[in-house]
């Protein structure tokens, strides 16, 4: 699995398509995490199950923890869960990239 992260609208998907044209891409994975949280499911467990079925996938997820602390409790919970899933993905990934302004930097 390859994990690509970075801020919103930084060119993560374009980078993934260019670098890994033959791989299945899962862009905006933070929305999958949000769905799992709203359904009361553990997003790390759900991600683990998905990876067992798709071990060669490229997961693309925006960072959410670099801005102001959200005012709503549910938004803080979501931000924490996205961060936890990001840590899990980084740990499990063969390669991790951070994309800023369309430039990908391999960090693992």
What pLDDT, in 10s, does the model give residues 17-53?
999 999 999 999 999 999 999 999 999 999 999 999 9
User: Per the structure, how many domains does the chain have?
Assistant: 1
Task: Quote the pLDDT of residue 64.
Answer: 86
The band of 67, judged by pLDDT with boundaries at 50, 70 and 90, is confident
Task: Give the mean pLDDT of 88-95.
Answer: 98
The band of 11, judged by pLDDT with boundaries at 50, 70 and 90, is very high
Task: Quote the pLDDT of residue 9.
Answer: 95
Task: Give the mean pLDDT of 81-90.
Answer: 97
Beta strand spans in 15-80 (E):
25-26, 58-62
Give burial (CB, 10 Å; 0-12/13-18/19+) of 85.
Answer: buried
Is there a contact between 100 and 5 (Cβ–Cβ < 8 Å)?
Answer: no
Query: Does residue 79 carry a pLDDT above 80?
Result: yes
Q: In this structure, what CATH number is given to the domain that contains residue 53?
A: 3.40.50.300
Residue 78 backbone zone (phi > 0: left; psi -120 to 50: alpha; other: beta):
alpha
DSSP one-letter code for 74: H
Task: Quote the pLDDT of residue 2.
Answer: 99
Residue of 67 and 84 predicted with greater confidence: 84
Per the structure, the complete domain to which residue 51 belongs is given by 2-106
Query: Does residue 61 carry a pLDDT above 80?
Result: yes
């Amino acid at each position: 699995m390859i994990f690509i992260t970075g801020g919103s609208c930084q060119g993560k998907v374009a980078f993934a398509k260019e670098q890994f044209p033959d791989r299945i891409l899962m862009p905006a994975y933070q929305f999958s995490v949000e769905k799992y949280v709203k359904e009361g499911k553990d997003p790390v467990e759900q991600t683990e199950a998905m990876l067992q079925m798709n071990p060669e996938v490229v997961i693309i997820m925006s960072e959410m923890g670099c801005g102001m602390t959200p005012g709503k409790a549910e938004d803080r919970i979501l931000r924490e869960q996205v961060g936890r899933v990001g840590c899990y993905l980084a740990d499990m990934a063969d390669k991790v990239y951070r994309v800023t302004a369309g430039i990908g930097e391999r960090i693992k």
